[in-house]
Amino acid sequence: MTQQTEQTEKIAAYAHPERLVTTEWLAEHLEDDNLVVLECNEDVLLYDTGHIPGGLKLDWHTDLNDPLTRDYIDGERFAQVMGERGIDRGTTVLLYGDKSNWWAAYALWVMTLFGHEDVRLLDGGRAKWVAEGRELTTEVPQVTPVDYPVLERDDSQVRAFKDDVLAHLGQPMVDVRSPGEFSGDLLHMPDYPQEGAMRGGHIPGARSVPWGRAANEDGTFKSRAELEAIYLQEQGLSADDDVVAYCRIGERSSHTWFVLTHLLGFEKVRNYDGSWTEWGNAVGTPVER
Amino acid sequence: MPPHESNDLPPNLAELAEDFHAVTQQERLQLLLELSRELPKPPERYAGKLDSMERVDECQSPLFLAVEVGQDAERTVNLFFEAPPEAPTTRGFAGILHEGLDGLPAQEVLDVPDDAPYRFGLSEAVSPLRMRGMVGMLARIKRQVRLRVQSLDLGAGQES
């Protein structure tokens, strides 16, 4: 089933329609042999309260981050995380989660660092599945572990580090945080805990396009035409631009990275996961208000 | 002092801390989940009145808190929480504080160490950032207790 393309009109219009599936599609394909469904949430306990039948938990914090270094896990650990969930290199992985798929998009982006070929998001995430009254279960599937190859993570294509961003100044950059964070009035998103940045503001030259502008009320992505109106017409970006997206720790900007890369077909978008918690604390980095 | 030392916590909170430390990391999450399920609903008088409760901004999901302090000699504290079911971690934190502090004399609540949220062995499983939600809840509970006790004491002074 690798690369099977979604057939709704909305999804077919995206640049890479194979990256997104509807709740209807998932309900029909839950039993597919080569599909592994992973739930990745901000709230670590949410999966345990009930999840999509057959779905497994992926914790962005404990499964994908190195416990010591502020970095992602290495190839060996990644192979373990995947293999113990029954995922091999050819498995179709479907990610969904809470908070409009922020963490699901983040996990999808981390899987991209390891070049996993077929990884998709559930349009609307967990909230849409629940809102539609679809089945949830607390039963955790028993998985037979498989071998996933140990691969080196490739940060060069979709990830930007602070030095990359410094070198990128003057080229297109999208700040997906709230307007208050962009202006420097707030050092964290409204209603979220203070995350210790010493300076407020934004990276010079970045455009403010809060992540939520790409989403509908129900957490689904806006249509391709609506997204083009925002990023192409209004912001003047084009699909061959070299773009860096950032937020506070890289989860909301993973959502925007997904939109630009997979829904609009931008060729080079990098997520700066160090984001404002790094930039706003780094000595000597330029800040604009 | 090791981080899980709990002899300076009120008895119920100390017992909970010991329960958490007696089990594995994964079982700790299950314990937290149980506490989230057991978190009582606020009484009728708070129904539909979230604006009469205090919002705990430190939590990553909306959590509302109400603190009542009785006029009895001990100034008995009662705690009420409202948090959505899709925020079980936040509800679990509230559950720990409810189970550990509800019904205690005001002074005992005020004496709870500010680092108490870190005594449950949850920092690794739940991430330090999320732990701040519980730190924020405890700080706000203590602040409200302090204010209410002051106001009751002031009222008592005026009466006599």
Question: Does A138 lie at the interface with B, CB-CB under 8 angstroms?
Answer: no
Instruction: Tell which residue, B112, B106, B107, has the closest CA to residue B78.
Output: B106
> For residues A279 and A286, is the Cβ–Cβ distance under 8 A?
no
CA-to-CA distance for B39 and A289, rounded, in angstroms?
43
Neighbour-count burial of B13, counting CB atoms closer than 10 A to its CB (0-12 exposed, 13-18 middle, 19+ buried): buried
Please give the residue of chain B at the shortest CA–CA distance from A194.
B58
Q: Please state, for a pLDDT cut of 90, what percent of chain B lies above it.
A: 68
- A198: three-class secondary structure by DSSP: coil
**What are the tens digits of pLDDT across the range B10-41?**
999 999 999 999 999 889 999 999 999 999 99
Q: Where are the alpha helices (DSSP H) in chain A?
A: 9-12, 23-29, 75-83, 102-113, 125-131, 162-168, 179-183, 224-228, 252-258, 275-279
> For residues A29 and A35, is the Cβ–Cβ distance under 8 A?
yes
- Catalytically active residues of A are 247
Cβ–Cβ gap A43/B85 under 8 Å: no
Has residue A5 got a pLDDT over 70? Answer: no
**CATH class name, domain A162-280:** alpha beta
Distance of CA A235 to the CA centre of its chain: 21
When mean pLDDT is compared across A23-27, A37-41, A214-218, B150-154, the lowest value belongs to B150-154
Q: Where are the beta strands (DSSP E) in A164-263?
A: 173-175, 207-208, 242-246
Name the residue ranges covered by the structural domains of chain A. Answer: 1-132, 162-280
Task: Supply the range of the domain harboring residue B149.
Answer: 3-159
Closest Cβ–Cβ partner in A45, A98, A127 for B29:
A45
- For helices B88-101 and B25-38, the axis angle rounded to 10 degrees is 80
Of residues A91 and A6, more confidently modeled: A91
Give me the total of CB pairs closer than 8 Å, taking one residue from chain A and one from chain B: 52
Predicted confidence at residue A104, as pLDDT, reads 97
User: Around A285, how many Cα atoms within 13 Å sit in the side-chain half-sphere?
Assistant: 27
Closest Cβ–Cβ partner in A42, A43, A44 for B125:
A44
Q: Which of residues 57-96 of B touch A (CB under 8 A)?
A: 57-62, 85-90, 92
Cα dihedral angle (A93, A98, A101, A107), rounded to 10 degrees? -50
Question: Does A49 lie at the interface with B, CB-CB under 8 angstroms?
Answer: yes
Cβ–Cβ gap A43/B58 under 8 Å: no
Whole-prediction pTM: 0.89
Provide, as residue numbers in chain A, all residues whose Cβ is less than 8 Å from the Cβ of B58. Answer: 193
When the pLDDT of each residue in chain A is averaged and rounded to a whole number, the result is 94
Predicted confidence at residue B54, as pLDDT, reads 86
Number of domains in chain B: 1
CA-to-CA distance for A185 and A124, rounded, in angstroms?
30
**What are the tens digits of pLDDT across the range A16-32?**
999 999 999 999 999 99
Provide, as residue numbers in chain B, all residues whose Cβ is less than 8 Å from the Cβ of A43. Answer: 60-61, 86-90
Question: Does B42 lie at the interface with A, CB-CB under 8 angstroms?
Answer: no
Cβ–Cβ gap B133/A42 under 8 Å: no
Architecture of domain A1-132: 3-Layer(aba) Sandwich (3.40)
Has residue B160 got a pLDDT over 50? Answer: no
**What are the tens digits of pLDDT across the range A224-275?**
999 999 999 999 999 999 999 999 889 999 999 999 999 999 999 999 999 9
The CATH number of the domain holding residue B78 is 3.90.1010.10
CA-to-CA distance for A98 and A125, rounded, in angstroms?
6
Q: Which of residues 81-120 of A touch B (CB under 8 A)?
A: 98
Instruction: Tell which residue, A66, A145, A157, A74, has the closest CA to residue A109.
Output: A157
Predicted confidence at residue B157, as pLDDT, reads 65
Cβ–Cβ gap B61/A43 under 8 Å: yes
> For residues B81 and B65, is the Cβ–Cβ distance under 8 A?
yes
Provide, as residue numbers in chain B, all residues whose Cβ is less than 8 Å from the Cβ of A48. Answer: 29-30, 33, 88
Interface mutation vs chain A, best among B54, B57, B59, most A CBs within 10 Å: B57
**What are the tens digits of pLDDT across the range A231-243?**
999 999 999 999 9
CA-to-CA distance for B46 and A92, rounded, in angstroms?
47
Provide, as residue numbers in chain B, all residues whose Cβ is less than 8 Å from the Cβ of A49. Answer: 33, 85, 88
Per DSSP, the residues of A118-156 read -EEEETTHHHHHHHTT---B-PPPP-------------T
Predicted confidence at residue A185, as pLDDT, reads 85
Q: What is the mean pLDDT of residues A150-171?
A: 98
Cβ–Cβ gap A191/B133 under 8 Å: no
Cβ–Cβ gap B33/A195 under 8 Å: no
Please give the residue of chain B at the shortest CA–CA distance from A193.
B58
Predicted confidence at residue B51, as pLDDT, reads 83
Has residue A186 got a pLDDT over 80? Answer: no
Distance of residue A28 Cα from the nearest chain B Cα, in angstroms: 25
- For helices B88-101 and B128-159, the axis angle rounded to 10 degrees is 40
Same fold for the domain at A1-132 and the one at A162-280? Answer: yes
